[in-house]
Chains A and B, each alone.
Chain A
Amino acid sequence: MAAIPALLPSTAFRDQLRRRGGESAARCYQCATCSSVCELAPAARPFPRRQMLLAQWGMADQLAADPAVWLCHQCNDCTVRCPRDARPGDVLGAVRSLAIEKLAFPGFLGKLVGAARLTWPLLLALPVLFWVTLLGLTGRLTPPAGLEAGWAYDALVPHSFIYAVYFPVAAWVILASWVAGRRFWTALGASGPRSGSFLGNLMPALVEVATHKRFGSCGAARPRKLGHLTLLWGFVGAAVTSGLLIVGMYIQHLPMPLALDHPYKILGNVSAGLLIVGAAILVGNRLGDRKAAGASSAFDTFFLSVVVLVIATGMVVELARLAHAPSFALSSYILHLGFVLCLFLTFPYSKFAHMLYRTLAMVHARMAGLEKR
């Protein structure tokens, strides 16, 4: 094997890793307890021992192109058993956050969100300020006078505003994700040959995402799996409800707001319920057994906080309408719209991007024959 020149481990990488909660990688002495207890690691390419080594050496490029980093669900079966307290689960979490930053398009946004430890007030406040400014400029910072009971939010912020903001943002997010996803997919391809079609392997991967079957095989993280699955289906329900509402408004011409017993409304409220339960489980888990839950880096906390803020303001918005409190409703709505914008815009750069990369890694694993134990 040809000798490769290698320097001492990159100090910069170690510092980055330390800030992301992965400094414990240095404690690893390569006993491979982690790889042998991992339920998810493929027998042919076990992890995370090797990834711990790459992290020690600071080999950021190899880590960014390693599917194993994303096949890990951070269940922390390894962390709770590590004899050196090197916390492989947390190290991979930190490595993932660095990979998201490294793959991000454009790079500066990746750095901005990557530094959430410092930039979180900006990231949260800017979208809210955007809405305040937009509504202020259009004279809609106070609710119109003489609202009758049964008013809809369209009366406060017209739907056209929503479409004008979120459709371009969605397009941008899709573009940014596409570019980053392509980068990742190409890098993955360099790690080994793949066979089969992308779409043919995407379906089973999505089924896996929908059922969390692999996640369920992790021991230490059962509560997290439940919370995560609930949250996922809550988001799916919310997205479906949004689609149905567009159909309802523009094709069925249903009167808004819908009655509480309307099927669309029921679906929306059930989804909201799932979101609340899921978020509560995840937050409670983080506050409980710290070792099994994993370290909470600012990067993780930022994403979870935005999700919680979106859900909480969403609930307040609905309750404020039912309580016929237009002023309070509008201010809550502005916050809600701001946080949703934040969640959208940071999708390719925050922990939210795991949806993209993990799905791609799972497809790659299937195509590269890595999924079998």
Chain B
Amino acid sequence: MQRIGVFLCSGCGIGEALDVAALERAASEEKAAHRAVHPCLCSPQGVATIRAAIDDGSVDGVLIAACSPRAKVEEFSFDPLKVAVERVSLREQAVWCQPPNHEDTQLLADDLLRMGIAKLAKMSLPVPFTAEISDTVLVVGGGVAGLEAARAAAAAGHPVVLVESSPTLGGRMSGLTHLLPECPPYDVLHPNRIAELVAKVQVDERVTVYTSARIQHIAGQPGQFAVTLTTPQGEKSFMAGAIIQATGARPYDAGRLPHLGWGSSPNVITSAQLDEMLAKGSLQRPGDGALPKRVLFVQCAGSRDPQHLPYCSAECCGTTLRQVATIHQQHPDIETAVVYRDMRTPGQLERFYLAVQSQPHTMLTRGEVERVSGNGRGPLQVHLRESLLGNDITLEADLVVLAVGMVPNAADGEAVRALHDAKVRAEKGDSETQRRDAAALAEQLAHHEGTEILHLEYRQGPDMPVLKYGFPDSHFICFPYETRRTGIYAAGTVRAPMDPPQAAEDGWGAAMKAIQCIEAAKRGAAVHPRAGDLGMPDFFLQRCTQCKRCTEECPFGTLNEDVKGTPQLNPLRCRRCGICMGACPERIISFPDYGVDRISAMIKAMSVPEEFEEKPRIVALMCENDALPALDQAAAQRQQWSPWIRVIPLRCLGSMNIVWIADALSRGIDGLLLVGCKSGDDYQCHYVRGSQLAQTRLGNVQETLTRLALEPERIKVVELSHHEFSRIPQIFNEFSAEIEGLGANPMKGF
């Protein structure tokens, strides 16, 4: 920006702890066009002074040197298309965490101010993005989650296309006689109203339903998905603004459970088969067609078992309770027994559990079913280990029901892509070894062949990436429905195992997200997690070397590639994390208010004393999603830490470009601390892979440092959760001590 206005606040104790007049002089040294000090900048009068400067055109960049960018967000909001704003956190990063009126505190504040001005000077205003955006929501899957999603989106005025692969709507719920209790006192079965829901959706004129239909392909980006379906009526093409994947789940393959009698006796069935019988009102032993006298349910059949489904499917306990109650309703004389490892009946379901337990001829007991033996004729023997009676026991039953878990109906997009790549390499590989290895990989991944559901034309694969258990990846605690494909939301049992009421709620939730996405796309704004961010990534493609690091590392599949490997940007898929920017060795990617040169400018703007013994300098690159809020929290508690640290907030640690490390070390900075979110299976990164990618990049850097005779310990990565704010002083102080132990950066003064 050309005309920078620096607005200093002296409230909240800033004026008492710092020499604000000196800071104003520093701003004038940095050639700020406009400077002002206000005793309470967030007050209407304070904000008015900023607005006046914007309105009279004297500033196009506003630097607010007051509190954390996470505080007073409403007050300090200005038209993003008119003015660039940068916040310098004097209060949290200097006043609250350092001794007042100390020379080092003043130096820290001075640095923070100069860094902010340097960054702001390099910022530009976003260019409004306009494109034709489709209002249509595509719902994939006509089970309860899909139907509710369609209903919700239609109720909000959006056209909906509902695609279902089977000939009828309703999904797995349509075969059920009853549902679990849904209203007080939660102890009697609830009628299944799925038919009413199907009818409501079918008569809704906003909803177009295609049954027995498949997706041929989906190209484009949020707001502009070009969808082609194969339907019995022929090919259908249309635009959609957002997509909800509600493809549900299927029962785990009982064929893999021979030890539980599956296959050796026809009288061992799955809960899905029992539901079919109960729906027809014809409960019988498949072996001889007789009415069973004793029915035994085996819970966790193949679930919570590392050999089968390692996870809990959450609804099988409820399903069994529902079936036990239904059997009792249809045949009060049949004895039922349930052998469980733990009954998991969250919420009000506990009341129904109690009601079923109290029912005559019903017995629920804990135990591990080791095996089920018997044939089609006599009763089955169910062998239990670790029964509560303290010994191994055998139970007899005429019919054994295996409560099997759920497997999501989702394709592993990345694996499908890897299979495709391996096949290409096996054909046209450079060497015999490469071709052989690729063929082996293709063999290993062969079971992904033909599993595609969404058929996305994305460089990273035709379906969404999945978590380790095969559910489409999402930050499911903070951001349910989110997936790693912007504008595509997962709902219902494909997202996580759940029961019908939860799936219904999921459908509504995903519909709300889809609508948000369409509305954001219309404004050219990011939808999540930097909601409303109007800045688009800019690729200076003339300098691109087609290294494909950006197209491979983007966690959201934003970039496609042309045949040469040049990235093709789909800006509406972008989440503005800057991971591509961190990956790019040519540094050709930037955002209007964020870029490699912006951060480099900040590093260069700070003062680096040449005498190490007095003033070592450490740069802390901190993720603004978890680490920075944690720092604010620690500061709010007036925790104190080393005055040598200069914090630079990053959108994601994954946006860290290694040139910053080079810049910092060559400037004589003595240490670099990189603070990101937790990585791994329980990652907390808003952008999924940020900290992990930063770690990988840093591994390469540290090798280089060793070659340059610099201690690799000068750079340290720390993973921090928001709630671990009390660790901040310890992290900072320990690292400061380590750096003091290492001594001065030998490049200091060069």
Chain A, Cβ-Cβ closest to B337: A8
| Known A26-B358, A27-B354, A29-B343; contact A7-B366, beta-carbon cutoff 8 A | no
| Known A6-B393, A6-B394; contact A11-B365, beta-carbon cutoff 8 A | no
* Nearest CB of A to B731, in Å: 42
* Nearest CB of B to A62, in Å: 9
| Known A14-B360, A26-B363, A30-B366; contact A8-B392, beta-carbon cutoff 8 A | no
CB proximity to B under 8 Å, residues A2-52: 2-9, 11, 14-15, 18, 23-24, 26-27, 29-30
Q: Does A84 contact B (CB under 8 A)?
A: yes
Whether A57 lies near B389 (C-beta < 8 A) is yes
Tell me the complex Cα distance, A9–B396, Å. 11
For chain B, give the interface size range: 20 to 34
Tell me the complex Cα distance, A26–B336, Å. 13
* Nearest CB of B to A308, in Å: 33
- Residues of B with C-beta under 8 A to A6: 389, 393-395
Q: Does A313 contact B (CB under 8 A)?
A: no
Whether B357 lies near A27 (C-beta < 8 A) is yes
Q: Does B362 contact A (CB under 8 A)?
A: yes
Q: Which of B357, B358, B359, B394 contacts A5 (CB 8 A)?
A: B394
Tell me the complex Cα distance, A7–B393, Å. 9
Q: Does B335 contact A (CB under 8 A)?
A: yes
Q: Does A244 contact B (CB under 8 A)?
A: no
CB proximity to A under 8 Å, residues B386-406: 388-389, 391-397
Whether A8 lies near B388 (C-beta < 8 A) is no
Q: Does B448 contact A (CB under 8 A)?
A: no
Whether B362 lies near A7 (C-beta < 8 A) is no
* Nearest CB of A to B658, in Å: 56
| Known A3-B392, A4-B393, A26-B363; contact A11-B383, beta-carbon cutoff 8 A | no
CB proximity to B under 8 Å, residues A259-295: none
Whether A8 lies near B391 (C-beta < 8 A) is no
Q: Does B308 contact A (CB under 8 A)?
A: no
* Nearest CB of A to B641, in Å: 47
Whether A11 lies near B335 (C-beta < 8 A) is yes
Whether B366 lies near A84 (C-beta < 8 A) is no
Whether A1 lies near B392 (C-beta < 8 A) is yes
Q: Does A56 contact B (CB under 8 A)?
A: yes
Q: Does B361 contact A (CB under 8 A)?
A: yes
* Nearest CB of A to B298, in Å: 14
Q: Which of B360, B366, B397 contacts A8 (CB 8 A)?
A: B397
Tell me the complex Cα distance, A142–B296, Å. 68
Q: Does A53 contact B (CB under 8 A)?
A: yes
Whether A4 lies near B361 (C-beta < 8 A) is no
Whether B394 lies near A8 (C-beta < 8 A) is no
Q: Which of A1, A11, A30, A57 contacts B361 (CB 8 A)?
A: A11
- Residues of A with C-beta under 8 A to B396: 5, 7-8
* Nearest CB of A to B723, in Å: 31
Whether B363 lies near A56 (C-beta < 8 A) is yes
Tell me the complex Cα distance, A5–B397, Å. 12
- Residues of B with C-beta under 8 A to A11: 335, 360-361
For chain A, give the interface size range: 20 to 34
| Known A3-B393, A29-B343, A30-B366; contact A8-B358, beta-carbon cutoff 8 A | no
- Residues of B with C-beta under 8 A to A1: 391-392
Q: Does B294 contact A (CB under 8 A)?
A: yes
Tell me the complex Cα distance, A23–B357, Å. 11
- Residues of B with C-beta under 8 A to A29: 343, 357, 364
Whether A84 lies near B397 (C-beta < 8 A) is no
- Residues of B with C-beta under 8 A to A30: 366, 388
Whether A8 lies near B383 (C-beta < 8 A) is no
Whether B393 lies near A9 (C-beta < 8 A) is no
* Nearest CB of A to B285, in Å: 16
Whether B361 lies near A26 (C-beta < 8 A) is no
* Nearest CB of A to B652, in Å: 46
Tell me the complex Cα distance, A57–B363, Å. 8
Tell me the complex Cα distance, A53–B365, Å. 9
* Nearest CB of A to B638, in Å: 44
Tell me the complex Cα distance, A84–B354, Å. 8
Interface string of B629-647 (1 = CB under 8 A from A): 0000000000000000000
* Nearest CB of A to B325, in Å: 14
Chain B, Cβ-Cβ closest to A62: B389
Tell me the complex Cα distance, A9–B365, Å. 11
Tell me the complex Cα distance, A57–B388, Å. 11
Tell me the complex Cα distance, A161–B358, Å. 53
Whether A27 lies near B335 (C-beta < 8 A) is no
* Nearest CB of B to A267, in Å: 51
- Residues of B with C-beta under 8 A to A53: 388-389
Tell me the complex Cα distance, A145–B78, Å. 117
Whether B366 lies near A9 (C-beta < 8 A) is no
Q: Which of B337, B358, B365, B383 contacts A3 (CB 8 A)?
A: B383
* Nearest CB of A to B328, in Å: 13
Whether A8 lies near B335 (C-beta < 8 A) is yes
* Nearest CB of A to B181, in Å: 17
- Residues of A with C-beta under 8 A to B296: 8
- Residues of B with C-beta under 8 A to A9: 337, 363
Interface string of A67-100 (1 = CB under 8 A from B): 0000000000000000010000000000000000
Tell me the complex Cα distance, A15–B333, Å. 13
Tell me the complex Cα distance, A101–B389, Å. 25
Q: Which of A4, A14, A27, A56 contacts B391 (CB 8 A)?
A: A4
Tell me the complex Cα distance, A24–B357, Å. 9
Q: Which of B362, B392, B393, B395 contacts A26 (CB 8 A)?
A: B362
Tell me the complex Cα distance, A24–B358, Å. 7
- Residues of A with C-beta under 8 A to B366: 30
Interface string of B223-254 (1 = CB under 8 A from A): 00000000000000000000000000000000
Tell me the complex Cα distance, A27–B296, Å. 18
Chain B, Cβ-Cβ closest to A1: B391
| Known A11-B335, A27-B357, A30-B388; contact A3-B363, beta-carbon cutoff 8 A | no
CB proximity to B under 8 Å, residues A154-170: none
CB proximity to A under 8 Å, residues B74-102: none
- Residues of B with C-beta under 8 A to A15: 360
- Residues of A with C-beta under 8 A to B391: 1-4
**B residues bordering A, Cβ < 8 Å?**
294, 296, 335, 337, 343, 354, 357-366, 383, 388-389, 391-397
Return the 8 tightest CB-CB contacts between A and B, nearest first.
Answer: A1-B391, A3-B392, A6-B393, A9-B363, A8-B335, A5-B394, A8-B337, A8-B294
**A-B residue pairs in contact (CB < 8 Å), sample of 9:** A4-B392, A5-B396, A8-B363, A11-B360, A24-B358, A26-B358, A27-B358, A29-B343, A29-B364
New A-B pairs, 5, CB < 8 Å, besides A3-B394, A5-B393, A14-B360 = A3-B383, A8-B296, A8-B396, A9-B337, A9-B363
